[in-house]
Structure 1
């Protein structure tokens, strides 16, 4: 079956439109953002799977741009510890594409029982989660047929970044509307740059059983999502680490059988030294190293892919795109159905 025969391939390329549609559907969030900053001391993003990674991106952007205390918790873990200290001064941001994710709904109900307000980011306008929420931020892009999240994740990021941008304005920070509106075109360019690379790199990746994906800041969030895509779509044991944390133990596993993929964020600062050290160690151990960066870097690696430069807080969208294509092509090389990974369903109730 050719590329056009799979829903996931079409949906990857529909990502830019999904991003744009989400921004249009959200409209102006300034009043909502101003009220949130006045009323709440912190926001807690609560979600599962790819939606959890979108929640991490929201928290990173909101804390950096608006100075708001924000952290993300997996919905399944919410009852274990986060629920015990939340109160009326917290806003729970529940993220679910379908609005029917069981663990996320359970966490939202528990929060409501304690008087905590809930803001839902969802594509399910009439869903159970939307019905529980005090505020709903709609996610555009339409239905997604493939089980792995691609365009829906991109649309969730659009909603999260638009929300964080509104919080920034409400806090007296930068107005990032133009930068947000430029993201769909930049994502389109990233996909175009990545297409042939992903197809070729998948030939060697198809035989790999295990690999590492390393990042920092927003690029660590991209590494988490990339590792999930490779796990679920093509059955590769991919582990994501912060570049600094990788040096505290896992680096000892580097060898010629485990590729090392490094996603360097825009304007990496001091983290660049860590990437350089890990790259040198990996190459010395015989590992194949792929470098994905926003500008050309001089580093001892096997392959490079340069994607467009963008603002650090919004970088995850572009950084994930090559790995959506890579997971797709690797699944084909391994004789797998990328639309229907084994043991998975679209909605986990």
Structure 2
């Protein structure tokens, strides 16, 4: 059996604090972009991404809509790459996110948006990639080489980049100061013990990850990692949506991971702990205080940072679950690092 502490996923996730530190040291482009957005605001914000990058974009949507109060939506790459069409994007801010910057569908969609008058900004880990060259500006993620198929440090760097951009754009000194603490907090989050969740997840066949607000993108990322590294069917839901059809599948022993942060969405997530427990679910929770089930540790940190810190703790757990299930988290079957979707 693999040693969980010797996988690429483990090593690369542990490098996330250093990646964010490099990103924060190179913040001039974020500040300049934000100043331009305050001077000439776009009419809307459009995100463009796939996979883990798209999960980071979900976090960005909540940050932009709650702190800048600007309509934000996700652009479907296939509209341009498959159907040869594009919505009217003149004078929108296009935020294109990619670890590799080489997926043909993202490149086609970004080019179509630029030709229609969008203002393209790219967040890319590979600064030599075609997508990086399309950005005006490009905001490098500074994650460094990421060889494991499972994106970890590049996801965290993308969310950190969005946090910094929104803090600068909204001129929120409190959020800016909080963002400066991210590297040290990520180091501490990596050391937290989420192993009480190991046993129920190793034996699981399904998993729900439930959150609200900015944590929804983090829940989506956790569910994706469980699928690709652990071979575990996992789905992410908003705390508001899971009460509808998805609740019908919950039965004795069904594991549910609830995520919260200290903001207005916390109570709606916390209320679900008792509801899931009544249905016999195995309830795991982080950031919702004292509730039924297994409480996973979180840091006392600014609410805007709490979901990102939780995913850093989770990556260590997911790596251990994958190995315990007899899988190599670095080389999931049927997956490649760069997915060339068209």
1:348 aligns to what SS in structure 2?
A: coil
Could you say if the C-alpha distance between residues 78 and 187 of structure 1 is closer, same or farther in structure 2, counting changes exceeding 3 Å?
Answer: farther
1:260 aligns to what SS in structure 2?
A: strand
Give the Cα separation in 2 of the matches to 1:180 and 1:94: 21
Residue of structure 2 equivalent to 1:34:
35
1:312 aligns to what SS in structure 2?
A: coil
Does 1:282 find its partner at 2:276? yes
Give the Cα separation in 2 of the matches to 1:270 and 1:29: 28
2:229 aligns to what SS in structure 1?
A: helix
Give the Cα separation in 1 of the matches to 2:274 and 2:197: 21
After superposition, what is the alpha-carbon deviation per residue over 1:44-94, rounded to whole angstroms, capped at 9, x for unaligned? 11100010111122222122222232223353466689x643332212111
Residue of structure 2 equivalent to 1:300:
292
**Do the aligned partners of 2:198 and 2:320 also contact (CA within 8 Å) in 1?**
yes
For structure 2, the 5+ residue unaligned runs are: none
Residue of structure 1 equivalent to 2:132:
130
Select the residue among 285, 307, 314 that pairs with 2:305. Answer: 314
**Do the aligned partners of 2:149 and 2:337 also contact (CA within 8 Å) in 1?**
yes
**Do the aligned partners of 2:260 and 2:307 also contact (CA within 8 Å) in 1?**
no
After superposition, what is the alpha-carbon deviation per residue over 1:140-179, rounded to whole angstroms, capped at 9, x for unaligned? 121011000001111111211111111111xxx4453221
Give the Cα separation in 2 of the matches to 1:90 and 1:28: 19
Residue of structure 2 equivalent to 1:255:
251
Give the Cα separation in 1 of the matches to 2:75 and 2:316: 28
Select the residue among 152, 155, 167 that pairs with 2:154. Answer: 152
- 5 Å-filtered alignment, 1:158-197, equals 158-169=160-171, 173-194=172-193, 197=194
2:122 aligns to what SS in structure 1?
A: strand
Residue of structure 2 equivalent to 1:97:
99
Higher helix share: 1
Give the Cα separation in 2 of the matches to 1:190 and 1:48: 26
Could you say if the C-alpha distance between residues 257 and 78 of structure 1 is closer, same or farther in structure 2, counting changes exceeding 3 Å?
Answer: farther
After superposition, what is the alpha-carbon deviation per residue over 1:11-63, rounded to whole angstroms, capped at 9, x for unaligned? 11111111111111233533321212314111111100010111122222122
After TM superposition, where is structure 1 displaced by more than 6 Å over at least 4 residues in a row? Answer: 78-81
**Do the aligned partners of 1:48 and 1:74 also contact (CA within 8 Å) in 2?**
no
**Do the aligned partners of 1:25 and 1:139 also contact (CA within 8 Å) in 2?**
no
Could you say if the C-alpha distance between residues 330 and 147 of structure 1 is closer, same or farther in structure 2, counting changes exceeding 3 Å?
Answer: same
Could you say if the C-alpha distance between residues 289 and 141 of structure 1 is closer, same or farther in structure 2, counting changes exceeding 3 Å?
Answer: same
How much does 1:239 deviate?
0.8
Aligned residues: 338
**Do the aligned partners of 2:260 and 2:270 also contact (CA within 8 Å) in 1?**
no
Give the Cα separation in 2 of the matches to 1:229 and 1:52: 13
Does 1:5 find its partner at 2:6? yes
Give the Cα separation in 1 of the matches to 2:13 and 2:31: 30
Residue of structure 2 equivalent to 1:324:
315
After superposition, what is the alpha-carbon deviation per residue over 1:224-274, rounded to whole angstroms, capped at 9, x for unaligned? 11000101000100111011111112112111131111101223x3651x3
Does 1:223 find its partner at 2:219? yes
How much does 1:180 deviate?
0.6
Q: Relative to structure 2, which stretch is displaced further, 66-75 or 113-122?
A: 66-75
The two structures, once aligned, show a CA RMSD in angstroms of 2.1
**Do the aligned partners of 2:30 and 2:139 also contact (CA within 8 Å) in 1?**
no
Could you say if the C-alpha distance between residues 76 and 149 of structure 1 is closer, same or farther in structure 2, counting changes exceeding 3 Å?
Answer: farther
**Do the aligned partners of 2:122 and 2:135 also contact (CA within 8 Å) in 1?**
yes
Does 1:245 find its partner at 2:246? no
Give the Cα separation in 2 of the matches to 1:281 and 1:174: 39
**Normalized against structure 2, the TM-score is what?**
0.92
